[in-house]
A and B are shown apart, each in its own frame.
Chain A
Amino acid sequence: MLSEVRFEGVHKIFGTETAVEDLNLTVNAGEFLVLVGPSGCGKTTTLRMLAGLERPSYGRILIGDKLVNNVSPRFRDVAMVFQSYALYPHMNVYDNLAFGMRARGASNDLVAQRVRETAEVLGLGHLLQRRPSQLSGGQRQRVALGRALIRQPQVFLMDEPLSNLDAGLRVQMRAELSRLHQRFRVTTVYVTHDQVEAMTMGDRIAVLNAGRLQQVDAPETLYDNPANMFVAGFIGSPRMNFVPGRLASSEGKASVSFLGITTPLGTGARLTAGAASGDVTVGIRPEDLMWRPAAGPDCTLTLHAEVDVVEPMGHEAYVTALCAGETVTSRFPPRSGVRTQESVELALNPARLHLFDAQSGITILQRPVAAAAETLRSVGEARTNEPAEGRSERHRQPEAPLAPSRSEEIS
């Protein structure tokens, strides 16, 4: 069963701290939604409210069409993977996996069959008799995942499930989680502070900061059209450069001056209704600020800068430079040979600029969504990749309209 999840005006207040404020968010049926934000932004609280471990102070939470505010976790039909895994230390892997089904009164035969299937999917077949303390971190993580998978719940909840794994294993599990989701397509809410996990795994990403939802969108949209400076700065590494600028418009033509240059705005982008001439913040992603010799022909703007720090990363180098009194970061090819205090020319495509209101930090420039085709393709892939084994039949749900909603829910 595919269920959508809705938060309607949800608040959570601890003492005098507002952990979550006026959250309105819909997780579409079958969607993999990532909740991302810095620590303390309210993402885990949101997940715990959905699991039933916390009750919202105000507002409504719905799973399917059922109001669950006062439904105990037991009856919510959700499964959760905890950051600490929370495996029962006194039970072996088999009993850990079987616990939930037994609690729901499943017959021993059915339990045995499903434990076997789940263990097989996750490659745990040979570990069923081990205790959690006898497993490696990655194996524990799989058991935690299996305990959620075996139940076939309406909604999966994952609270930073990969944060305790080392880097290599994390990349591997990231791919595996995506594969599992594409196979079973259960509505999933995934909490992380890691923007790479968010970008690679989410159908859509919800960015939270200080208890407030900043933006919900597909990864590419979020990257190309951040709703405000927080989202722009949080998503993307190295961080987006922010420099002060001035917006001027005459005869319907808008132009912006920053870092000592002035450029008309590109034709594809359009200013939002709220945009007014005056002070703005200009956002430039480091990869859009290129070394002149490596830049393409559409990089029509040239900036003069003095190199401050060069950080070679192997496949590229991050160069921090001083440009018209501002410090900017740019991505260079790996062996550019530039050195500290050297003067360099940086190239910039004016179509790649981001503009934000200088006071509120909200974006005032709407750019065309370039990556929509990309997203749709990956969803299509998910459908064709369904394995043909018999047991997956019951997971193959009637295809709900899966194309991620583009509706923005910027608060």
Chain B
Amino acid sequence: MSAVQARPLTGEKLIVVPYRKVSASAVATNVVLILLGCFFLLPMLWMVFASIDSNPDWAIKIPSPTIANFTDVLGRADALSSFRSSLILAGTTTVVTTVLALLSAYPLSRMHIPFKRSFMLLILFASGLPVSMLVVPVYQMYVYLGWLDSLYTTALFLAASSLPFAIWLMKNFIDAVPVELEHAAAIDGASTFRILREVVLPLTVPGIAVTAIYTFINAWGAFIIPFVLTYSPDNQPGPVEIYNFMGSHGLFKFGDLAVFSLLFSVPVIVLYLFMSRYFSGAFNFGGAVK
């Protein structure tokens, strides 16, 4: 089948009798895919069309174009402040998580540490824990510490909850750097610090990028944690703001809502595209735990 698919669907070669049956299945493959593609595209299209429609409603329709929705949203103080909040929240989370994940993953990948295996299993288990379990105790802790309603303390908890998976991801990337390079550098006379800075770090850049972007995308979309841990309007990040708007029927126009969520989605899509060329390796879960 694959040998045939490599050829164009039209063309003399497909007339050859033995191929006819296979080409039918090839057509079916592509048609089914297009239908599935529509299923995924339609809900998204509403957002795009409604954002430039002067009179949108819940249905997808050909828009009568306007940029009023965009100027509307960009003129709203609450919308802009939620972008600022999201940026602080996701940025702080990303920096803390990435730095700590890198620092933790290197010794876990390379050094002799007692109970390393148990530690990695604990981390794996931790990354599977539901956040909803932690929300109540963390809320209680934050009340006690007086940390409620601060973007930075909220980011700290987001960092803690994303750290287990980040360590695991980063460790896989560091494991993939041939240890022989470090041996070669050691024999070359380099100090441990120099080896880390000049050999390990440059070769881990893809892993650092993937971990950082992955963490950022998750923190950018985080809802329940800021929803519970912050309350003043200035500290509401995008997701919480959109949720509030969705609940306040009539106060917020369809078009504005579409523009807001569209603008809010753009950064993560761009970041994902940036990351995707490194990312395929992250999905090889074959021998995740040995």
Contact = CB atoms under 8 A, between A and B. Distances in A.
Interface in B151-198: 178, 180-181, 183-191, 194, 198
A82 B181 CA distance: 10
B188 A151 contact: yes
A104 B223 CA distance: 52
Contacts, number: 60
Contacts of A82: 180, 183-184
Could you tell me the dominant secondary structure of chain B's interface residues?
helix
A88 B183 CA distance: 11
A74 interface: yes
A88 B194 CA distance: 13
B198 A78 contact: no
Contact of A86 (B181, B190, B194): B181
A230 interface: no
Interface string B183-217: 11111111100100011001100000000000000
Which range holds the interface residue count of chain A?
20 to 34
A80 B189 contact: no
A79 interface: yes
Contact of B187 (A80, A84, A88, A90): A80
A73 B187 contact: yes
Nearest to A83: B180
Contact of A99 (B183, B185, B203): B185
A185 interface: no
A74 B191 contact: yes
B204 to A, nearest CB: 10
Nearest to B203: A90
A86 B202 contact: no
B199 A103 contact: no
A156 to B, nearest CB: 11
Contacts of B194: 103
Nearest to B177: A89
A52 interface: yes
A53 interface: yes
Given A99-B198, A100-B189, A80 B184 contact: yes
Given A80-B184, A88-B199, A90-B202, A99 B178 contact: no
A52 B191 CA distance: 14
A72 interface: yes
B178 A74 contact: no
A75 B187 CA distance: 8
Contacts of A89: 181, 203
A78 B178 contact: no
B183 A73 contact: yes
B190 to A, nearest CB: 4
A99 B187 contact: no
Given A74-B191, A86-B180, A103 B202 contact: no
Contacts of B184: 80, 82, 86, 88, 147
A86 B179 CA distance: 9
A46 to B, nearest CB: 15
Nearest to A76: B187
A51 interface: yes
Given A53-B183, A90-B203, A84 B178 contact: yes
Interface in A149-172: 151
Interface in B227-280: none
Nearest to B201: A90
Interface in A54-94: 72-76, 78-80, 82, 84, 86, 88-90
A52 B183 CA distance: 9
B160 to A, nearest CB: 32
B111 to A, nearest CB: 14
Interface in A76-130: 76, 78-80, 82, 84, 86, 88-90, 99-100, 103-104
Contacts of A72: 186
A113 B181 CA distance: 25
A75 B188 CA distance: 9
Determine which residue in B180, B191, B202 has the highest number of CB atoms from chain A within 10 A of its CB, and name it: B180
Contacts of A88: 181, 184-185, 199
A168 B198 CA distance: 35
Determine which residue in B178, B180, B181, B189 has the highest number of CB atoms from chain A within 10 A of its CB, and name it: B189
A147 B183 CA distance: 13
Nearest to B188: A100
Determine which residue in A75, A103, A104 has the highest number of CB atoms from chain B within 10 A of its CB, and name it: A103
B180 A103 contact: no
A75 B186 CA distance: 9
B180 A73 contact: no
A392 B32 CA distance: 73
Interface of B: 178, 180-181, 183-191, 194, 198-199, 202-203
Interface of A: 51-53, 72-76, 78-80, 82, 84, 86, 88-90, 99-100, 103-104, 147, 151
30 contacts: A52-B187, A53-B187, A72-B186, A73-B183, A73-B186, A74-B186, A75-B189, A76-B187, A78-B187, A79-B187, A82-B180, A82-B183, A82-B184, A86-B178, A86-B181, A86-B183, A86-B184, A88-B181, A88-B199, A89-B203, A90-B203, A99-B188, A99-B190, A100-B189, A103-B189, A103-B194, A104-B189, A147-B184, A147-B188, A151-B188
User: Which 3 residue pairs across A and B have the least CB separation, nearest first?
Assistant: A100-B188, A103-B190, A86-B184
Given A73-B186, A80-B184, A86-B180, 4 more contacts: A80-B183, A86-B178, A100-B190, A151-B189
